[in-house]
C-alpha cells in the first residue's frame, strides 16, 4: 500500500484529514459531515492513499448530489423570490402567476425539479388526488422541491419539513418558508434541516412523505439505503418516484429497472403486502403512491 504525504496511516486521522480536505473545497463545504465520513471511510478502505481517497470521495459526492445542482446563487434566488412576493401590482391572480413564475425559474436550477416543471401542474394533482388537505409533509432528500409546496393540496396550517445534505440549500429554503409565511400562508410551519437521511432518517410522523427520485441516488453511496429509509419513514402516504431519464438523457431500460427495484424493495420491506400501491407514469417521472 502506498501512502500520500501527510497520510499518517492511522485510519481515524486519515478520515479526519479527508473530511477537512473535502470540506475545504468550496462545493462541499456545507455538506452534512456524516455523509462525507461514510463515503470517505469506504473510499479510504478501497484506495491507495489519502489523496486518491479524497479525489474519489469528491467524485462520489458529485455523483450523489453535486451533479444535480447548478452553481448555487442562493442570495440572488431569494432576492428574486422576494421581489415577486412583495410586488403588489395587479390582482390576486396576477400575484399568484408572478410568484409561480419566479418559483419555476428557481426550481429550474436543480436538475430534478427542472425535469418536473413540464408535468408540475399534473404531478401532485394526480398522485395526491383524494388526499388532503394535508397537515404534514416530510420531503426527504428534497433538493429544491419544497418550492413546489403551493402545488400540493396543503392545509392552511400545514407543517412542511424538508431535508437534504446541503446546509446552504437548507438556509435558502428556510428563507423561502419565511417569505411564504409572511406573504399569503401565515399558518405554514416550514422547517429545513441539513440531514443525511441514510445516517439519521427523521424520527417524526407525517401524513405525506415525499421520496422523489432519491432512491437511485441514495443507493449510490449505500446499496441498502433505499430499503433502510423505506423501513424508517413513518407516514400514512409515501410518494416514491424515479427519473425516466438519466442526467445525460439516457432512458433505455431505465424505467423497467427502476420499477423492478421498487417492487423488490416493497417485497423486502414487507410494505407491499400491507399497503395499497398506485402507479403513475409521467413523461419525465415514474411515481408510486404507497398508502397504509
Ligand atoms: C435526484 S435529486 C432529487 C431531489 C428532489 N427529491 C426532487 O425530486 O426534486 C437527489 C437529492 O438527494 C440529495 N441527497 C443525496 N444523498 C443524500 C443523503 N444521504 N441525505 C439527504 N439527501 C441526500 C441530493 O443532494 C439531491 O438533492
User: Regarding the domain delimited by 110-291, which CATH topology (the fold level of the hierarchy) does it fall under?
Assistant: Rossmann fold (3.40.50)
Residues lining ligand 1, CB < 6 A?
35, 64-65, 68, 112-113, 141-143, 145, 164-165, 196-198, 212-214, 217-218
* Mean predicted confidence (pLDDT) in 61-71: 86
CA of 187 to the centre of ligand 1 (A): 27
Terminal Cα distance for the chain, rounded: 52
Express as a percent the part of the chain with pLDDT over 70: 96
What pLDDT score was predicted for residue 271? 96
Give, for ligand 1, the residue of 57, 104, 165 to mutate: max count of ligand atoms closer than 8 Å to Cβ.
165
For 67, phi and psi rounded to 5 degrees? -65, -20
Of all atoms in ligand 1, which is nearest to the CA of residue 225? 19
What pLDDT score was predicted for residue 187? 97
Which residues on neighbouring strands pair with residue 190, listed in sequence order?
160
* Mean predicted confidence (pLDDT) in 85-98: 88
CA of 232 to the centre of ligand 1 (A): 17
- pLDDT, averaged across the chain: 92
Q: Single out the residue of 239, 212, 237, 225 nearest to residue 269, CA to CA.
A: 225
Nearest residue (CA) to ligand 1, atom 20? 196
The confidence band for 68, taking pLDDT boundaries of 50, 70 and 90, is: confident
What pLDDT score was predicted for residue 69? 85
* Mean predicted confidence (pLDDT) in 33-53: 93
- The residue behind cell 501512502 is 3
Cell of 127: 398522485
3-17, 89-103, 173-187: segment of lowest average pLDDT: 3-17
According to DSSP, residue 202 is labeled -
Which residues on neighbouring strands pair with residue 288, listed in sequence order?
240, 279
pLDDT digits (tens, 9 = 90+) for 120-157: 999 999 999 989 899 999 999 999 999 999 999 999 99
CA of 217 to the centre of ligand 1 (A): 7
Of all atoms in ligand 1, which is nearest to the CA of residue 110? 9
Who has greater pLDDT, 66 or 60? 60
Amino acid at each position: 500500500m502506498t501512502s500520500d504525504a501527510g497520510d499518517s496511516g492511522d485510519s481515524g486521522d486519515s478520515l479526519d484529514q479527508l473530511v477537512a480536505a473535502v470540506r475545504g473545497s468550496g462545493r462541499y463545504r456545507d455538506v452534512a459531515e456524516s455523509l462525507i465520513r461514510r463515503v470517505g471511510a469506504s473510499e479510504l478502505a478501497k484506495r491507495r492513499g489519502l489523496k486518491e481517497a479524497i479525489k474519489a470521495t469528491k467524485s462520489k459526492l458529485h455523483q450523489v448530489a453535486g451533479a444535480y445542482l447548478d452553481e448555487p446563487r442562493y442570495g440572488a434566488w431569494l432576492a428574486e423570490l422576494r421581489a415577486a412576493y412583495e410586488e403588489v401590482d395587479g390582482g390576486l391572480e396576477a400575484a399568484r402567476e408572478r410568484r409561480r413564475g419566479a418559483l419555476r425559474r428557481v426550481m429550474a436550477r436543480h436538475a430534478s425539479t427542472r425535469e418536473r416543471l413540464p408535468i408540475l401542474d399534473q404531478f401532485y394533482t394526480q398522485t395526491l388526488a383524494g388526499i388532503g388537505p394535508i397537515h404534514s409533509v416530510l420531503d426527504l432528500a428534497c433538493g429544491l422541491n419544497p418550492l413546489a409546496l403551493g402545488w400540493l393540496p396543503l392545509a392552511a396550517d400545514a407543517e412542511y419539513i424538508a431535508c437534504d445534505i446541503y446546509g446552504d440549500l437548507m438556509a435558502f429554503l428556510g428563507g423561502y418558508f419565511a417569505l411564504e409565511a409572511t406573504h399569503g400562508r401565515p399558518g405554514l410551519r416550514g422547517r429545513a434541516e441539513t440531514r443525511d437521511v441514510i445516517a439519521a432518517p427523521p424520527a417524526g410522523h407525517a401524513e405525506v412523505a415525499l421520496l422523489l427520485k432519491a432512491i437511485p441516488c441514495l443507493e449510490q453511496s449505500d446499496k441498502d439505503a433505499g430499503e433502510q429509509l423505506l423501513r424508517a419513514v413513518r407516514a400514512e402516504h409515501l410518494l416514491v418516484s424515479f427519473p425516466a431519464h438519466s442526467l445525460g438523457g439516457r432512458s433505455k431500460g431505465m424505467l423497467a429497472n427502476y420499477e423492478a427495484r421498487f417492487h423488490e424493495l416493497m417485497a423486502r420491506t414487507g410494505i407491499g403486502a400491507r399497503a395499497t400501491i398506485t402507479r403513475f407514469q409521467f413523461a419525465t417521472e415514474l411515481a408510486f403512491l404507497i398508502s397504509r
